[in-house]
Chain A
Amino acid sequence: MHEMSLAEGVLQLVEETARRENARRVKLVVLEIGTLSSVEPDAIRFCFEAVTHGSIAQGAALEIVASQGAGWCMPCAATVPMTEIYGACPQCGSYQVQPTSGTEMRVKEIGIE
C-alpha cells in the first residue's frame, strides 16, 4: 500500500512544478514506472486519482510509461531481459544478474495550461 505515499510524492512534484510555472491547471501527468520497480501501475492509478482530488491536478490524465526490465548477467557477460526482479537469467539460469533498467519510478513530465 505504499503506492499511496508514492502518489503523494508524485503530487508534490507536480504541484511544485505547476506553481513555478504559474499553471492554472494540470491536464496530464506522465510517469515512468519500470516493470521491476516495487510499484503496481493499477494501484498508483487508483491512488493518484484519490490524492489529486481537490488539487490543481484534479481530473488530470495519468499516463504510465512502462520501462522494460533488463539486467547484466555476469556469467553470460551480457545484458539480458528480466521479467522478475532478482530472478534468474533467461539464458543461463544464474541468479548473478544485476538489474540495469526497469527499476525506475519517475515523474517524467506534466501538461499544464
Chain B
Amino acid sequence: MCTVCGCGAGETRIEGDGHEHTHVHADGTVHTHSHTHADEHAHEHAHAEAPLGVHSHTHQHADGSEHSHAHIHDGEHKHEHGGEHSHEHGHTHEHHHHEHAVGGDLDFGAGPARAHVPGLSQSRMVQIEQDILSKNNGYAAANRSWFDEHGVFALNLVSSPGSGKTTLLCKSIELLKDKMTISVVEGDQQTSNDAERIRATGVAALQINTGKGCHLDGHMVGHALQRMQPADDSLFLIENVGNLVCPAAFDLGEHHKVAILSVTEGEDKPLKYPDMFRAADVMLLNKCDLLPYLEFDADLAEANARRVNPDLTIFRVSATSGEGMSAWLSWVEAGLAAQVAGRSESVDALKRRVAELERQLEQTQAGK
C-alpha cells in the first residue's frame, strides 16, 4: 500500500518532499533517486500493451546527453499513469523513442525474465492467501520496531472532523513540552494549517496532505519518520485525517490509537462507527466544559463506547478550560516512561550479551 491511496492516487504530498523513483534497469541494477522538479510537463502513457508494466524511456538531460532505460514499475512506487497527471521533471522525455509494444502485441521477451518458458503459460490457479492489508501492516511493523528501538512513544489520534483534535493537541503539547521532546505529524487532505498551529507551540511538525485520500497509511508515516528523525525517548503524535471510518483499518505502527469524541456530537457515535472505537485503546471525551449547555449524556456515551470496546480507557477533558487534562497527560507520561524503560532494558540486555560473548571469545582464544 504505497502512498497511493486509491482514492487519491499519486496525490499524497509530504511537505517539502521531492519525488522519489525506484528504477530497475535492463541490466538488473536498481537505483532510487529523488527529483525536485523545475519544469512542469504532463506525461501520459498507455501501459496496457506492455506486459508487467515494463516500459522504456529515453531521457534527454539538460546537458544534451541522452540515455534510454527500461523501468519496471514494481508496485512499490507506482505511478498512476493514464489519468491526468503531471510529472514535473527537470529533463525532457523524448516520447517518440518509447518502445512500447504496439497494437496489443504480446512481447514475451520484454518481461523481467527476458525469456518465455514454454509450458508455463497454461491457465492455472495460484494460491496467495494473503491479507489485503499485509503491505500496510509490513510498513507499520517496521515503524513500530523503529519506535521501540528508539524509546519513542507513538500515538495515533483519530476522530471526526471538528472534534477539537488540533486544539487538544496544542494544549497537551503546551503542558508537556517542558518535560519531553515532542514531534507531530499532521494528516489532512489539504492545507498545512494544522502543522502551522502545532509549530506555533514550538515543537517540530510535519504536514502530510493525502489529496483525495481519506487516511494516513504506514508507508506515509515511514517517510515522515525518515524526514523528521524524532529524538530518542521522545513523544511522537500523529493526527490522522478527520474520519471515523478508514483510519481504523490502517495500522501506522503507533502504540495506541486515541479516539476523540466531542460532546457536541451524538452519544451513539461509538455504536455508529464501532470499528474506530474498537481499534482505539483510549477515548477522550472532549469539550466537556460545554456539558452544562447541552443535552449530551456523557455517561451514555461512555457506556456506548464500552459496549463496543470493554477495555477502553476513557478520559473526560476540555482542551479549552484545561479540565481533566492532567489525568490524560499522566497517562501519556506513563506510556513514554514505559517505552524509555523498555529501550534501556533492551540496551542493558544487549550490553550483557556483548560482555558474555567477549568473555567466551577470550576463553576460546586463551584455550588455543
* A interface residues, Cβ below 8 angstroms from B: 1-19, 21-24, 27-28, 31, 38, 47, 50-51, 53-56, 58, 85-86, 95-96, 105-113
Whether B126 contacts A54 by the Cβ 8 Å rule is: no
Can you identify 30 A-B contacts, CB atoms within 8 angstroms? A2-B7, A2-B214, A2-B245, A5-B1, A6-B6, A6-B249, A9-B136, A22-B113, A22-B116, A24-B106, A27-B123, A31-B132, A38-B249, A38-B275, A47-B6, A54-B47, A86-B274, A86-B308, A86-B309, A95-B307, A95-B308, A106-B128, A106-B129, A106-B132, A107-B129, A107-B130, A108-B129, A110-B126, A112-B125, A113-B121
Whether A2 contacts B136 by the Cβ 8 Å rule is: no
* B interface residues, Cβ below 8 angstroms from A: 1-2, 4-7, 46-48, 51-53, 75, 81-82, 106, 108, 111-113, 116-117, 120-136, 213-215, 217, 245-246, 248-250, 274-275, 278, 307-310
Q: Which 6 A-B pairs have the closest CB atoms?
A: A4-B6, A2-B246, A113-B123, A4-B7, A86-B308, A86-B274
Say whether chain A's binding surface is mostly helix, strand, loop, or mixed: mixed
Whether B249 contacts A108 by the Cβ 8 Å rule is: no
Which residue of B has the minimal Cβ distance to A96?
B310
Q: Would you give the shortest CB distance from A95 to chain B, in whole angstroms?
A: 5
Whether A108 contacts B127 by the Cβ 8 Å rule is: yes
Whether B5 contacts A110 by the Cβ 8 Å rule is: no
- In the complex, what distance in Å separates the CA atom of A19 from the CA atom of B133? 20
Known A-B contacts A2-B245, A16-B75; the reply to A9 vs B5 at CB < 8 A is no
Whether A56 contacts B129 by the Cβ 8 Å rule is: no
Whether B135 contacts A9 by the Cβ 8 Å rule is: yes
Which residue of B has the minimal Cβ distance to A27?
B123
Whether A109 contacts B1 by the Cβ 8 Å rule is: no
Whether A105 contacts B4 by the Cβ 8 Å rule is: no
Whether A2 contacts B121 by the Cβ 8 Å rule is: no
Whether A5 contacts B127 by the Cβ 8 Å rule is: no
Whether B217 contacts A5 by the Cβ 8 Å rule is: yes
Whether B123 contacts A107 by the Cβ 8 Å rule is: no
Of the residues A1, A95, A109, contact of B127 by C-beta under 8 Å? A109
Q: Would you give the shortest CB distance from A62 to chain B, in whole angstroms?
A: 13
- In the complex, what distance in Å separates the CA atom of A95 from the CA atom of B248? 21
Known: A22-B113, A54-B82. 15 other contacts (CB 8 A): A5-B250, A8-B5, A9-B136, A13-B132, A13-B135, A17-B126, A22-B117, A22-B120, A95-B307, A107-B128, A107-B129, A109-B126, A109-B128, A111-B126, A113-B123
- In the complex, what distance in Å separates the CA atom of A4 from the CA atom of B246? 11
Please name all residues of chain A whose beta carbon is closer than 8 Å to the beta carbon of B250 when the two chains form the complex.
Answer: 2, 5
Of the residues A21, A56, A58, A96, contact of B126 by C-beta under 8 Å? A21
Known A-B contacts A5-B217, A6-B133; the reply to A111 vs B48 at CB < 8 A is no
Please name all residues of chain B whose beta carbon is closer than 8 Å to the beta carbon of A19 when the two chains form the complex.
Answer: 52, 111-112
Q: Would you give the shortest CB distance from B286 to chain A, in whole angstroms?
A: 23
- In the complex, what distance in Å separates the CA atom of A109 from the CA atom of B127? 4
Whether A24 contacts B51 by the Cβ 8 Å rule is: yes
Please name all residues of chain B whose beta carbon is closer than 8 Å to the beta carbon of A7 when the two chains form the complex.
Answer: 6
Please name all residues of chain B whose beta carbon is closer than 8 Å to the beta carbon of A96 when the two chains form the complex.
Answer: 310
- In the complex, what distance in Å separates the CA atom of A10 from the CA atom of B133? 8
Q: Would you give the shortest CB distance from B312 to chain A, in whole angstroms?
A: 12
Please name all residues of chain B whose beta carbon is closer than 8 Å to the beta carbon of A51 when the two chains form the complex.
Answer: 6
Whether A1 contacts B82 by the Cβ 8 Å rule is: no
Whether A112 contacts B278 by the Cβ 8 Å rule is: no
Known A-B contacts A2-B7, A2-B249, A51-B6; the reply to A9 vs B132 at CB < 8 A is yes
- In the complex, what distance in Å separates the CA atom of A107 from the CA atom of B53? 21
